[in-house]
């Protein structure tokens, strides 16, 4: 009988606690969106997943050293019938070292395999 009473008490306590707990359908913050990058822009972030410091690069500017190590990039140029714009990311300054990735119009890379220290912005 004691065992039955204890189980019943436990079930009642758990049910009461569950009834008091708040229910939230949106407990996690939304993931950052690469399309927060301004339209017709080339953007780079200091953190993977489009978080942290953000900078923009001028299309067709050639080789540029990044103002901080890049961990994610996006290209919001539409690409359509105009001149295609691309951003290539390199592991070392002055567009040397390993090519870490590239983005064409409408593409993004949420995570680069290493810090990007320079970019090549081409038409």
| Contact residues for 55 (Cβ-Cβ < 8 A; gap 6+) | 43, 44, 66, 67, 68
Identify the CATH number of the domain in which residue 103 sits. Answer: 2.60.20
Q: What is the pLDDT of residues 35-88, one digit of tens each?
A: 789 989 999 999 999 999 999 999 999 999 999 999 999 999 986 667 889 999
106 is in which domain, residue-wise? 34-67+79-122
Q: Which residues on neighbouring strands pair with residue 86, listed in sequence order?
A: 104, 122
Looking at residue 2, what is its pLDDT? 46
Assigned domain for 1 exists: no
Looking at residue 8, what is its pLDDT? 46
This prediction's pTM = 0.73
Least confident of 22-31, 100-109, 114-123: 22-31
Assigned domain for 94 exists: yes
Separation of alpha carbons 50 and 54, rounded Å: 8
Assigned domain for 10 exists: no
């Amino acid at each position: 009988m004691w065992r039955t009473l204890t189980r019943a008490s436990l079930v009642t306590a758990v049910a009461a606690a569950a009834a008091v707990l708040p229910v939230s359908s949106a407990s996690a913050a939304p993931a950052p969106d690469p399309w927060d990058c301004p339209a017709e822009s080339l953007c780079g972030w200091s953190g993977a997943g489009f978080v942290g410091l953000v900078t923009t690069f001028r299309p067709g500017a050639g080789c540029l050293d990044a103002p901080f190590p890049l961990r994610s990039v996006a290209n919001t140029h539409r690409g359509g019938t105009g001149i295609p714009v691309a951003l290539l990311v390199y592991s070392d300054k002055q567009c040397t070292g390993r090519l870490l990735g590239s983005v064409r119009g409408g593409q993004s890379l949420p995570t680069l395999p290493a810090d990007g220290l320079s970019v090549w912005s081409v038409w």
